Each structure stands twice: as structure tokens, then as C-alpha cells.
Amino acid sequence: MDRKCEEVVLQVDKEQINYIRNTLESYDGMALVHTLDAKAGSIQVHIAPGCRDLILSILESLVGEGLSISFTNMAKY
């Protein structure tokens, strides 16, 4: 199992930042969301080791609900 956290930078509608943050952070300890630029809708998601697939699945579900989410960067640290 990979023990490194992953960092994903997303571009979202600024009105959706809080909803996305609350949704992802409700999965206790799996992800933390940091707003990089609220006006531009740029957020950073820190994903705990072993949680990548679940968090990406949640993001896909949010897109299925009609939210606008696009990946701009993904890195491990």
C-alpha cells in the first residue's frame, strides 16, 4: 500500500466550494480541502494514503450530480 498523501488541485464553481469541502471532509480523515483562490474556484484536496479511489469516486459522483469539477494537478507527497 502506498503511504504517501496525494494532493489534487481542482477547478470548481466558486459557489460549490463549501459543498465540496463539506462532502469530502465528512469522510473523517480521508481528505482535507484547502481553498487556493475562492474567486477563481481553485481548491486543493489532500487525500490520505489508501483513500484515493474512494475520494475520486466521490468527486465523480458530484460531477454526476451536476457540479462542475475539473482536475488541474495531482501529486504525491
What residue ranges define each of the domains in the chain, with the CATH number in brackets?
A: 6-76 (3.30.70.3400)
Task: Write the DSSP assignment of 38-76 as a string of letters.
Answer: TTTTEEEEEE-TT-HHHHHHHHHHHHHTT--EEEEEEEE
Residue whose C-alpha cell is 457540479: 67
Residues 69, 12: contact at Cβ < 8 Å?
Answer: yes
Q: Would you state the pLDDT for residue 24?
A: 97
pLDDT tops 80 at residue 25:
yes
Instruction: Give tens-digit pLDDT for 31-62.
Output: 999 999 999 999 999 999 999 999 999 999 99
Q: Would you state the pLDDT for residue 66?
A: 96
Q: What is the mean pLDDT of the chain?
A: 92
